[in-house]
Amino acid sequence: MAANVPVVQRQLTVHFNAVEGQLQVFGRQQWTAPVASGSNPPQALVVCPCTTGTLAAIAHGISD
C-alpha cells in the first residue's frame, strides 16, 4: 500500500467498494485528525497495523 494518504484512501475505497467519502484515512503523524482530539469519537475505527502493544494502549487510554 502506498505511503501517500490520498492514494491509500482511494485504494481502500475501491477495494472495499465504498462510496466516495465513506472512508477517511489519516496519516500516522496527522495530529489534526478529528479522532486525535478525543472530542469527536468515531463510530468505528481500524488501526492498521496494530500490535498488541498498540491495542493495549488504545484499550487503556495510554499515550506515548
What cell does 25 get? 484515512
Mean per-residue pLDDT for 17-46? Answer: 83
> Can you count the helices (H) and strands (E) in the chain?
3, 0
Q: Alpha carbon of 61 to those of 54, 56, 57: distances in Å?
A: 10, 8, 6
pLDDT of residue 55: 92
Q: What is the pTM of this model?
A: 0.59
What cell does 6 get? 490520498
Instruction: Work out the percent of the chain whose per-residue pLDDT is above 90.
Output: 38
Is 10 buried (19+), middle (13-18) or exposed (0-12) by CB count in 10 A? middle
Domain housing 44? 5-60
Q: Domains in the chain: how many in total?
A: 1
